[in-house]
Structure 1
Amino acid sequence: MRVKRYVVNALPEAVTKIRTDLGKDAVILDTKEIKVGGFMGMFRKKKMEVIAAVESNPPKPEPPARKAPPEVHAVVEQILQTAQRSGASSTTVMEPPPAPPHMQEPRGTFESQERRSNTEQFIINEIRDLREYMVKLTKQQNDLHHLSEEMLQLKDRLKQQELDDEWINKLMDALQEAQQHENRSFERDELWREARSMMAGWLQPYCKDAQISSEARVVHFVGPTGVGKTTTIAKLAAEQTIKRGKKVGFITSDTYRIAAVDQLRTYANILNVPMEVVFSPMDLPKAYKALEGRDLILMDTAGRNFRSELHVSEVISLLHSNEPNETILVMSLTGKTADMSIIAERFTKYGIRKVLFTKLDETTVYGAILNLILNYQLYPTYLASGQNVPDDIERFRVNAYLDKLLGDGEHE
């Protein structure tokens, strides 16, 4: 048996050296913490002593291993580098001065056991991540072999529309199951129609009553800056005034943005609608009193950085009313999907479920709508596009939306 001693900063460093020197059949016989260096017993550094050994008789040659894809090698290399960095960084933590010899604990103390346990857990987590990556990679490779050309085209279309992988995979599985049930492959037109039908089924529960409630007297509009809340409020006010004959009033708390109050006041003058400005929740009772003769009050709130919980809570404080009310989250389709998801998560925590999407005319990517509806159980009310008041707004309709998402399917 060949035995070798290593003094290293952390166990992962020793594992690499042992594999290099003694081979993959080497075993670790013992580990313990030691102190090295210093001056006259002071300033000594903690190290780890590792004893490893390997049998002298060479092992029988094994059959050549199956070559892994380049992606796997890259992931394994990343894991090793991360492990080495983790081990190295653990030595930079300032340690308390050593205890006198008669008070030092014997080898195998709780601290060394805890560190060993943390190292083992780190390796387990990395192996689990590697396994999940391999499963995902295998599934992707299987898809390339088992999905028909028509399904691959549909999948590419949905990826271009930035639909989440979760929903794409769910749709692909459902389509494959439908084809297996009928024991045949769908033609292109039939496949896209089936996909449309399935996604319509997903959306339908959120679209039945997703309009401004007829019972709500106060409707608040919240959302990030620049999404078009003020223009949208003007469009809805025109619809309610001209088409439904309601007496509408405006409240704005958007006193942060330059000229925001003037913009809404301009719309109020054009539509002959009274408007009140509030600077804090204490101003709301007075504003409601001034508009008590109105059938419907539309309230514009300030657009802030809603990645911040503080800014979200500031807006939420303005949404309390003794009147029947509801709140609509306004989102721009030109925003990044990740940012939109964070904003949706912030507001849904406060029970806000209705959403209105703007700037439909400024994008050709519509997957974020379905992602947000399904991921956060949001109820879509309207789709807005352009600046024309009151024309550039329409109620959310599933079929019209799926036309845009699928590109009218069979013609795309």
Structure 2
Amino acid sequence: MKVKKYVASSMPEAMKQIRSELGNDAVILNSKIVYTGGFLGFFRKKNIEVIAAMDQVGKMEPKVKEKPKLTPVSQPVKNAPIAKPQVFTTPEKRQERPSGDLLNELAELKAMVKNMSATGQGGKSYPGPLEGLYLELKKQEIEPYICEELMAVLLEKWYTLGAASSAEEVKAWCKELMKERISDLPYGEISFTKKYVNVVGPTGVGKTTTLAKIAADSILKFHKKVALITTDTYRIAAIEQLKTYAKILAIPLEVCYNLDDFRKACETFKDYDVVLIDTAGRNFRNEQYVVELKQILDYDNEMETFLVLSLTSKQNDMEEIYKQFSSITINQFIFTKMDETSSYGAMYNMIDKYRIGAAYLTNGQNVPDDKVAASADVITKLILGDETK
């Protein structure tokens, strides 16, 4: 058996070296995390040390013995040693065969390596249940840097616990890691700590319907005195839609065309607990849209702003939308159209990258029912397939 030690930055990198030198039939005998370099205990680099072996049992071939050279009779060799009789042995006798337990262990290790040899997405491969989990994260479109950071921790835990944990256990580890990454951010329904709640976002993401759901909850669940303001004067249908909701909920609505109108509306609603503000949906690539928002709304007032994003949007579009609105303080995200997609990774990516929590997730048009209060736990379970939609 040929045994060799490898030190690499990650297990996939170590496996690449092992397969290159020892082939796909190599087995891993041991692995552990090691630290190299550094100065006075600082800046140490974490690596993984793997001891691998190539099982050569049954593959050894007897060496071909060279024929002895005959010495001519006319030239006798002086003091030639007397040849001892040669004893030929079979390969099995020359090398002691491993016991049954060792053979079983080698078979298990071989199976593990073959499993790791399966090519994963993007050239990555992981052992056992970790491979399936990695592919699920990729399917959910979790950012590559997040995947790599999660898998590094999971891989270390996998080997530390003996490389025998089930898929359910590995999935539970991942849930906790993902939840921990974003659990320090604000989540959940509006807190009513600020009087004005502003909803912004591009066209077609469901801002008006979402605002109606929040208004209904504020009245029916929290028993607040609620008023509505809309600045969406570009679409007559949007004003009529919000008027319909206001009539059903029996709450007042003011339409504002400029900053003076907005300040007058605020004065009119000074005795209300919460004022919900609907804004126009415009092309998010147009910077003038955000400029116009600042001209209509008084952001120096006591205001909380939610950016509404559709889960059917592309990740790049979500990022462009956020950057366009970043000149306004965004307190939380609201993610809509959860029922129209099966991929939720972009939501997690936005929260993790920009360190902004989420208030609601919406999953339909029904007011006020089709929404859930967001949390790190709900989002993580949704991504890993454990949350009802």
The TM-score with structure 1 as length reference comes to 0.62
1:238–1:271 Cα contact (<8 Å) kept: yes
Which amino acid counterpart does residue 336 of structure 2 have in structure 1? T
Alignment equivalent of 2:163, drawn from 181, 184, 191: 184
1:241–1:248 Cα contact (<8 Å) kept: yes
Secondary structure, aligned partner of 2:232: coil
Which amino acid counterpart does residue 354 of structure 1 have in structure 2? Q
Which residue does 2:139 correspond to in 1?
160
Is 1:213 paired with 2:191?
yes
Is 1:284 paired with 2:253?
no
Identity over aligned residues, as a percent?
A: 39
Which residue does 2:271 correspond to in 1?
293
CA RMSD of aligned residues (A): 2.3
Deviation at 1:323, TM superposition (A): 4.1
1:217–1:323 Cα contact (<8 Å) kept: no
Alignment equivalent of 2:152, drawn from 173, 176, 189: 173
- Write 1 or 2 for the structure with the bigger share of helix: 1
Which residue does 1:392 correspond to in 2?
370
Deviation at 1:261, TM superposition (A): 0.3
Separation (CA, whole Å) in 1 of partners of 2:128 and 2:295: 53
Deviation at 1:408, TM superposition (A): 2.7
State the Cα deviation string for residues 111-131 of structure 1 (Å, max 9, x = none).
xxxxxxxxxxxxxxxxxxxxx
Which amino acid counterpart does residue 345 of structure 1 have in structure 2? K
Which amino acid counterpart does residue 148 of structure 1 have in structure 2? P
Highest CA radius of gyration, 1 or 2? 2
Which residue does 1:249 correspond to in 2?
227
Which residue does 1:19 correspond to in 2?
none
State the Cα deviation string for residues 260-297 of structure 1 (Å, max 9, x = none).
00000000000001000011223111111222221110
Separation (CA, whole Å) in 1 of partners of 2:220 and 2:386: 33
Separation (CA, whole Å) in 2 of partners of 1:368 and 1:266: 33
Where does 1:292-371 land on structure 2 (aligned, <5 Å)? Answer: 292-321=270-299, 323-371=301-349
Which amino acid counterpart does residue 255 of structure 1 have in structure 2? T
Structure 2 residue runs without a partner (length 5+) = 1-19, 21-118
Separation (CA, whole Å) in 2 of partners of 1:232 and 1:306: 19
Secondary structure, aligned partner of 1:249: strand
Which residue does 1:403 correspond to in 2?
381
Separation (CA, whole Å) in 1 of partners of 2:295 and 2:127: 53
Secondary structure, aligned partner of 2:272: coil
Which amino acid counterpart does residue 275 of structure 1 have in structure 2? L
Separation (CA, whole Å) in 2 of partners of 1:347 and 1:181: 45
Alignment equivalent of 2:175, drawn from 191, 196, 199: 196
Alignment equivalent of 1:264, drawn from 242, 263, 269: 242
2:200–2:279 Cα contact (<8 Å) kept: yes
Deviation at 1:340, TM superposition (A): 0.7
Separation (CA, whole Å) in 2 of partners of 1:370 and 1:349: 22
Separation (CA, whole Å) in 1 of partners of 2:122 and 2:152: 13
2:182–2:355 Cα contact (<8 Å) kept: no
Separation (CA, whole Å) in 2 of partners of 1:353 and 1:293: 24
1:161–1:367 Cα contact (<8 Å) kept: yes
Is 1:237 paired with 2:215?
yes
Residue-pair matches, total: 270
Secondary structure, aligned partner of 1:330: strand
Separation (CA, whole Å) in 1 of partners of 2:263 and 2:219: 24
Farther off after superposition, 156-165 or 267-276 = 156-165
Secondary structure, aligned partner of 1:206: coil
Separation (CA, whole Å) in 2 of partners of 1:235 and 1:408: 25
Which amino acid counterpart does residue 237 of structure 1 have in structure 2? A
Deviation at 1:374, TM superposition (A): 0.7
